[in-house]
Amino acid sequence: MKIAVFWGCRVLTEQYAYELSLRETFPQLGIELFDLREAHCCGDVLKSLNKFTAFYLASRILALTKQIELTDLLTPCNRCHLTLTEAKYMLERHRQTREKIEELLNDEGLEYSSNINIWHPVNFLHDHVKLEKIKTVVKRPLTGLRFATHSGCQLIRPSELGRPDNSETPQKLDVLVKALGAQVLDYKEKLDCCGFALTYSHPEAAFSLVGAKLKALQELDVDGLVTSCPDCHLMFDAKQKNAASTIGVKLELPVTYYTQLLGLAMKIPAEKLGLQLNQTPIQKILMKLNERYQAGFH
Amino acid sequence: MSLIDQMSMATPDLKLRRRVLDRITEATPVDCFKCGKCTSGCTALKLLELKPHEIVNLVKLGFIEELASSDIIWTCVTCLKCTERCPQKATPYHVITALRNLAVEKEAKVPDKYMKALSNILETGLIQNVQKIALTETEIYDRKSLGLPEIPKIGLKLSENLFKALEEGQK
């Protein structure tokens, strides 16, 4: 299957492990990824500043997808996924906004299309690729490992717009981790927010928020936390040190992208999945896998 | 001084109230009946004392300038729990977003990082410049060393249109 990819700013400029692991794993599932002609912000941050401009940028992504004659668009970021969905929803219901945006797009030879399916890796893998297919590419089941998952707020709300998973009891990421042979633990703080958006205005509050969740997770018997959003991942992984010093607790919880875990189960070498970029003690997971398989990777 | 105390010295501005309400096409803030579901589940309540139902009701009363220039509207973490759980579709998230837009328009105090992201988007299309990931002094990664393709550049026309869009958004 051919699918257009809109990576989003965070992945393209900072969260390289997500891009690496997605580019490695998806083709092995028979998915051909097509980059858009241009890369720009989805509009997310602009919703707070100038909502019309935010929706113009988001609509432009849909127009760029139409330009390469594809009707399915994958975006690995929760915030991008929501912004694109919001724009589509708005343009379907608000004629005046749609006309103004179409005018701007037509002005540069682009055409808006309302006929684009906007996917996130979580629902794309769960609903479209399906578990049976994923199980066929697992060459090294993650048996004996136990994970907790974090879906992220913007992936699951508001359900009125049709979100990839259930707003109060998201399960798809759990099911996807289980398909790799690992165990998944449910936990009380599962719906707690990573705090990313607050890093723009109140970073200390953001770090104490993510710190509280990490602390709770660390007290559980899990080998790591599985993420599927670059902003959430940034908070749990790269900002884990900031979180630790903000709340005054030692934090050492390994954090991985789902696509990295998928790649490990597919027996793709760790560095091709960008695991060297994770800033949490990911070696703990690799060592456990090494013990089991005596595989020669670091 | 609490948010409510501050308003005791303010006068409602019905014109601005109309302007904010007209812009919220996704929700009906005037239908809020103060059940408090949003505030009881608000991520920012314990951390930064954000009370979404208060914001909605101060908008209903017309205290718009005061809200737009208050830091309280920048304490929302956009977890969308209020949007999901509001029984009246009054959705504080949309109200807060509209107030933030108004703060920009009125040139009130907007957190620096937002304005930086905007100027970066106008310049390159992206919210920030491409980062190098330095894990140790010698272990430094970038797109090239990781074998990732170059980021396609934005066209001139987009920059031009972005300015038009910003203007349109403030009409």
Chain A contact set for B169 (CB, 8 A):
50-53
A136 and A29, same structural domain? no
> What is the C-alpha to C-alpha distance for residues B163 and A58, in angstroms, rounded to an integer?
15
Q: Which of A61, A88, A119 is the last residue of a domain?
A: A119
Total domains in chain A come to 2
> CB B148 to CB A20 under 8 A?
yes
Task: Give the nearest partner residue to A153 out of B80, B133, B168, using CB atoms.
Answer: B80
Query: B157 vs chain A: nearest CA distance in angstroms?
Result: 7
The predicted structure's pLDDT at residue B10? 86
> What is the C-alpha to C-alpha distance for residues B4 and B167, in angstroms, rounded to an integer?
33
> CB B151 to CB A39 under 8 A?
yes
A242 and A167, same structural domain? yes
Residue A126 lies in a domain: no
Say if CB A163 and CB A157 are below 8 A apart.
yes
**For residue A214, what is the domain's CATH number?**
3.40.50.11810
Q: Which of A119, A148, A167 is the last residue of a domain?
A: A119
Nearest CA in chain B to A79: B78
Of residues B158 and B9, more confidence is placed in B158
A280 and A140, same structural domain? yes
Q: Which of A69, A93, A119 is the last residue of a domain?
A: A119
A233 and A208, same structural domain? yes
A231 and A139, same structural domain? yes
Task: Residue A253: give the domain boundaries.
Answer: 132-293
Domain ranges of chain B: 3-105, 112-169
Token pair belonging to A235: 């908070």
pLDDT tens track for A157-168: 999 999 999 999
Nearest CA in chain A to B44: A205
A167 and A109, same structural domain? no
Q: Is the alpha carbon torsion for A5, A11, A191, A200 positive or negative?
A: negative
A218 and A100, same structural domain? no
The predicted structure's pLDDT at residue A298? 43
Dihedral class, residue A157 (left if φ above 0, else alpha if ψ from -120 to 50, else beta): beta
> CB A201 to CB B114 under 8 A?
yes
A272 and A150, same structural domain? yes
Token pair belonging to A168: 């109060």
> CB B130 to CB A12 under 8 A?
yes
> CB A153 to CB B125 under 8 A?
no
A168 and A107, same structural domain? no
> CB A45 to CB B166 under 8 A?
no
Strands B140-141 and B133-134: antiparallel
pLDDT tens for chain A, 298 residues: list them.
999 999 999 999 999 999 999 999 999 999 999 999 999 999 999 999 999 999 999 999 999 999 999 999 999 999 999 999 999 999 999 999 999 999 999 999 999 999 999 999 999 999 999 999 999 999 999 999 999 999 999 999 999 999 999 999 999 999 999 999 999 999 999 999 999 999 999 999 999 999 999 999 999 989 999 999 999 999 999 999 999 999 999 999 999 999 999 999 999 999 999 999 999 999 999 999 999 887 544 4
Cα–Cα distances in Å, from A272 out to A138, A262, A263?
17, 12, 9
* Strands of A72-74's sheet in order across: A32-35, A2-5, A72-74, A117-119
Superfamily per CATH, domain B3-105: Alpha-helical ferredoxin (1.10.1060.10)
Residue B10 contacts A, CB cutoff 8 Å:
no
Say if CB A230 and CB A269 are below 8 A apart.
no
A182 and A140, same structural domain? yes
The predicted structure's pLDDT at residue A215? 98
